[in-house]
Structure 1
Amino acid sequence: KYGYLWVQCEKCYELNYQKVFSSQLHICEHCGHYLKMSSSDRIELSIDPGTWDPMDEDMISMDPIKFHSDGNLYRDQIDSFQRKTGLTEAVQTGIGQLNGIPVAIGVMDFHFMGGSMGTVVGEKITRLLECATTRSLPVIVVCASGGARMQEGSLSLMQMAKVSSALYNYQYNNIINQIKSDSMYQSLPLLQPVE
Structure 2
Amino acid sequence: MFRDWFKKDEKNNSRDIPDGLWIKCPQCSQIIYSKDWNENYKVCIKCGYHDQLTAWERIDLLIDYGTFKEIYKNVAPVDILGFTDTKPYTQRLKEAQEATGLKDSILAGQGEVNGIPIYIMVMDFRFIGGSMGSVVGEKVVRVVERAIVDKFPVVSVIASGGARMQEGLFSLYQMAKTSAAIGRLSKAKIPYINILTHPSTAGVLASFGSLGDVIIAEPGALIGFTGPRVIEQTIKQKLPEGFQKSEFLLEHGMIDMVVERKKLKSVLYSILNHLWRKVW
Q: Report the TM-score when normalising by structure 2.
A: 0.64
Deviation sequence 1:140-164 (CA, Å, 0-9, x none)? 0111111000000000111111111
1:185 aligns with 2:200: no
Bigger relative contact order (CA 8 A; separation at least 6): 1
Q: Secondary structure at the match of 1:126?
A: helix
CA distance in 2, matches of 1:156, 1:53: 27
Question: Are the aligned partners of 1:90 and 1:110 in contact in 2 as well (CA < 8 Å)?
Answer: yes
CA distance in 2, matches of 1:156, 1:146: 13
CA distance in 1, matches of 2:130, 2:137: 11
Q: What is the CA distance between 1:62 and its match in structure 2? A: 1.1
1:25 aligns with 2:23: no
CA distance in 2, matches of 1:110, 1:57: 17
* 1:163 counterpart (178, 197, 207): 178
The structure-2 alpha-carbon separation of the partners of 1:186 and 1:25, relative to structure 1 and needing over 3 Å to count, comes to: same
Q: Secondary structure at the match of 1:123?
A: helix
The structure-2 alpha-carbon separation of the partners of 1:49 and 1:180, relative to structure 1 and needing over 3 Å to count, comes to: closer
The structure-2 alpha-carbon separation of the partners of 1:174 and 1:180, relative to structure 1 and needing over 3 Å to count, comes to: closer
Corresponding residue number in structure 1 for 2:29: 13
Q: Secondary structure at the match of 1:105?
A: strand
Q: What is the CA distance between 1:191 and its match in structure 2? A: 2.9
Corresponding residue number in structure 1 for 2:94: 79
Corresponding residue number in structure 2 for 1:110: 125
Question: Are the aligned partners of 1:97 and 1:103 in contact in 2 as well (CA < 8 Å)?
Answer: yes
The structure-2 alpha-carbon separation of the partners of 1:63 and 1:15, relative to structure 1 and needing over 3 Å to count, comes to: farther
Question: Are the aligned partners of 1:27 and 1:35 in contact in 2 as well (CA < 8 Å)?
Answer: yes
CA distance in 2, matches of 1:4, 1:91: 27
1:175 aligns with 2:191: no
Matches within 5 A, 1:22-101: 22-70=38-86, 72-101=87-116
CA distance in 2, matches of 1:56, 1:33: 33
Question: Are the aligned partners of 1:179 and 1:185 in contact in 2 as well (CA < 8 Å)?
Answer: no
Deviation sequence 1:75-111 (CA, Å, 0-9, x none)? 1101111111122210000000111121100001111
Greater mean deviation of Cα atoms: 129-138 or 12-21: 12-21
Greater mean deviation of Cα atoms: 165-174 or 33-42: 165-174
User: Residue type matched to 1:13 in 2?
Assistant: S
Greater mean deviation of Cα atoms: 8-17 or 32-41: 8-17
Greater mean deviation of Cα atoms: 45-54 or 30-39: 30-39
Corresponding residue number in structure 2 for 1:143: 158
Count of residues paired in the alignment: 194
Greater mean deviation of Cα atoms: 91-100 or 22-31: 22-31
Larger Rg: 2
Give the gaps of 5 or more residues in structure 2.
1-16, 187-191, 214-253, 257-280
Question: Are the aligned partners of 2:172 and 2:203 in contact in 1 as well (CA < 8 Å)?
Answer: no
CA distance in 1, matches of 2:137, 2:44: 33
The structure-2 alpha-carbon separation of the partners of 1:94 and 1:192, relative to structure 1 and needing over 3 Å to count, comes to: closer
Deviation sequence 1:159-193 (CA, Å, 0-9, x none)? 11111121113343432222353433232233358
Deviation sequence 1:91-136 (CA, Å, 0-9, x none)? 0000001111211000011111111100011111111111111111
